[in-house]
Amino acid sequence: MAKKPSDEHEQEGGGKIGGKIATREADYPQWYQDVIREAELAEPAKVVKGCMVIKPHGYAIWEKIQRDLDARFKATGHKNAYFPVLIPQSFITKEAEHVEGFAPELAVVTHAGGEKLEEPYVIRPTSETIIGYYFSKWIESYRDLPLLVNQWANVMRWEKRTRMFLRTTEFLWQEGHTAHATHEDGLAEVQRMLGVYGDFAEEVMAMPVIRGEKTASEKFAGALTSMCIEALMQDGKALQAGTSHDLGQNFGRAFDVQFQTEAGALDYVWQTSWGVSTRLIGGLIMTHSDDAGLVLPPRMAPIHAVIVPIFRSEEEHAAVLVAAERIKAALSDLDIAPPRARYRDFIEVVVDDRPIRPGAKFYEWERRGVPVRIELGPKDLAKGQVCVKMRVDTAAGSGKEFVSEAEFIATFTARLATFQAELLRLARERMRAREVTLDTWDEFLATFAGDKSTFAWCHWDGTAETEARIKEETKVTIRCIPLPGQGPDPQPGVCIRSGRPSPRRVLMAKAY
């Protein structure tokens, strides 16, 4: 049976000829990879196992993430610093739970300069240890506290199984590390930064999240507790999108980070750490994108609008280009940074004057996630209008609209804001539509049968045994114990698995 390679996708609404994108329905993991390839976000490094090359369009998204988060960190009093990528191996072993958690995934440098090293270095999987070491040197008194630093860095974890952006051997992230005089202060910091992450996810990435606390078995290795934001992907799986840890005095003790209290006594500092990574880009893709390719909210888009000139004669071409450049210039002056942002976010416009047909350009820019397309032809020039098409039909615009050039420019910022809000609204709607409240084990098994998953609010007896049992039987994990205001109001009930008393429902799902 001679099946033409292109047949299967062409029938499924996508109809791609050049770049093929599987449908989410047909093959979700393939779709994810296709979107990354076709939007030119990244590619597998190939020559280095488990690593990826983040291409310019993908890195530009990371830069957007960095810029906004960095401003938020500065606004909360944090300062950037940078610590070595290599950590003496002995450092890692100083905190018992930390070693246990990270030992299996360490890459170790044993030779350098042509000689075997006396003590090997590990490539940082995270920097609690080496930062603990420096904190012990920098902190002497309560007057030195709180100490609030952040570092933008790469880290390496030798994972068994990698997926582009979601889990790669090397990834980019930021790790905040703070030291406080009291546990109370530390806890406040943990919550504050979780709040920053939650706000960022929703306001900037238009990615709705559930804020909560990790169970003991899911928390960071070496932390007292971990807080997290969890996002729901379109296939129903959960993605841990950010974490904020209360390290207590664990690393303080391990690295002897002591300070003199106001009363003159000596005490160990209370530390926190918190981070988000390039994984956010994976979450961004799986939150908004569709079968035609990447969809980006304006605040994440490296390119906000593309102008496609339409013409027949050279005279028309020249006239259209003049208008296109005029519009581009006008839009480029607009700044869509949030009201009190400490940075500016100017509109980026591309005039696509390549000598190929307009239709081909439409598809290409759609694949790459550009929010707004402007078609500009002789008829438009005659009427002083532009033809506008949004990447997804929403209240910001649907189908092709014809708007006067002046009005289009005057309302462009509002159009993007509406589009941004609409993407968040749509994502929230999807989440709400998928959220379920389950009370019986039969319902639970049906909900998570096969590779199905969703956000399920269920009662849990609070024991690690039950949690492990559920995971073993269904692959479902407790994503978090929700914070106040997240999920259903706390009501006592009985555990969905054990039938024992439960104080409240927790969020369960299969996870990336």
Looking at residues 334 to 393 of the shown chain, list those that interact with RNA (rule: CB under 7 A).
Answer: 355-360, 362-364, 366-367, 373, 375-380, 387, 389
Q: Count of residues binding RNA (CB under 7 A)?
A: 74
Helix axes 183-203, 56-75, angle to 10 degrees: 140
Say if residues 121 and 88 touch (Cβ distance below 8 Å): yes
Footprint on residues 476-495 left by RNA (CB under 7 A): none
- Candidates 451, 452, 464, 465; binder of RNA (CB under 7 A) is 451
377-398 burial: b if 16+ Cβ within 10 Å, else e:
bbebbeeebbbbbbbbebebbe
Region binding RNA by CB under 7 A among candidate stretches 166-174, 201-209, 249-257, 299-307: 166-174
Footprint on residues 191-250 left by RNA (CB under 7 A): 220-221, 240, 243
C-alpha–C-alpha distance, residues 439 and 4, integer Å:
48
CB of 328 to RNA, least distance (A): 16
CB of 437 to RNA, least distance (A): 24
412: three-class secondary structure by DSSP: helix
Footprint on residues 25-84 left by RNA (CB under 7 A): 29-30, 32-33, 37, 44-51
- Candidates 160, 262, 344, 484; binder of RNA (CB under 7 A) is 160
Say if residues 103 and 157 touch (Cβ distance below 8 Å): no
CB of 507 to RNA, least distance (A): 15
- Candidates 62, 83, 171, 448; binder of RNA (CB under 7 A) is 171
Region binding RNA by CB under 7 A among candidate stretches 14-22, 109-117, 139-147, 478-486: 14-22
Q: What is the DSSP string of 327-379?
A: HHHHHHT-B---TT-SS--B--EEE---SS-HHHHHHHHHHTT-SEEEEE-HH
CB of 92 to RNA, least distance (A): 15
Q: Give whichever of 145 and 294 is closer to RNA, judged by the CB atom.
A: 294
> Does residue 166 interact with RNA by CB under 7 A?
yes
CB 325: neighbour CB atoms within 10 A?
14
The maximal CA–CA distance of the chain, rounded, in angstroms, is 84
7-38 burial: b if 16+ Cβ within 10 Å, else e:
eebeeeebebeebbbbbbeeebeebbbbbbbb
Q: Give whichever of 33 and 260 is closer to RNA, judged by the CB atom.
A: 33
- Candidates 56, 104, 492, 501; binder of RNA (CB under 7 A) is 104
CB of 423 to RNA, least distance (A): 18
> Does residue 452 interact with RNA by CB under 7 A?
no
Say if residues 492 and 462 touch (Cβ distance below 8 Å): no
Site string for RNA, 293-332 (x = CB under 7 A): -----------------xxx--------------------
Count the residues in the chain.
Answer: 512
Q: Give whichever of 279 and 459 is closer to RNA, judged by the CB atom.
A: 279
One-letter amino acid identity for 292?
A: A
> Does residue 7 interact with RNA by CB under 7 A?
no
CB 343: neighbour CB atoms within 10 A?
12
> Does residue 116 interact with RNA by CB under 7 A?
no
Q: What is the DSSP string of 149-213?
A: EEEEEEEE---SS-BTTTB-SEEEEEEEEEEESSHHHHHHHHHHHHHHHHHHHHHTS---EEEEE
> Does residue 168 interact with RNA by CB under 7 A?
yes
Q: Give whichever of 316 and 345 is closer to RNA, judged by the CB atom.
A: 316
CB of 21 to RNA, least distance (A): 8
Q: Give whichever of 72 and 391 is closer to RNA, judged by the CB atom.
A: 391
Parallel/antiparallel/unpaired status of strands 270-277 and 170-180: antiparallel
Region binding RNA by CB under 7 A among candidate stretches 133-141, 188-196, 276-284, 325-333: 276-284
Q: Give whichever of 362 and 441 is closer to RNA, judged by the CB atom.
A: 362
Which residue in 82, 251, 229 sits closest to 150, CA to CA? 82
Q: Give whichever of 145 and 204 is closer to RNA, judged by the CB atom.
A: 204
- Positive or negative, the CA dihedral 196, 197, 198, 200 is positive
Q: Give whichever of 387 and 396 is closer to RNA, judged by the CB atom.
A: 387
Q: Give whichever of 181 and 228 is closer to RNA, judged by the CB atom.
A: 228
Which residue in 169, 51, 46 sits closest to 107, CA to CA? 169
Say if residues 159 and 169 touch (Cβ distance below 8 Å): yes
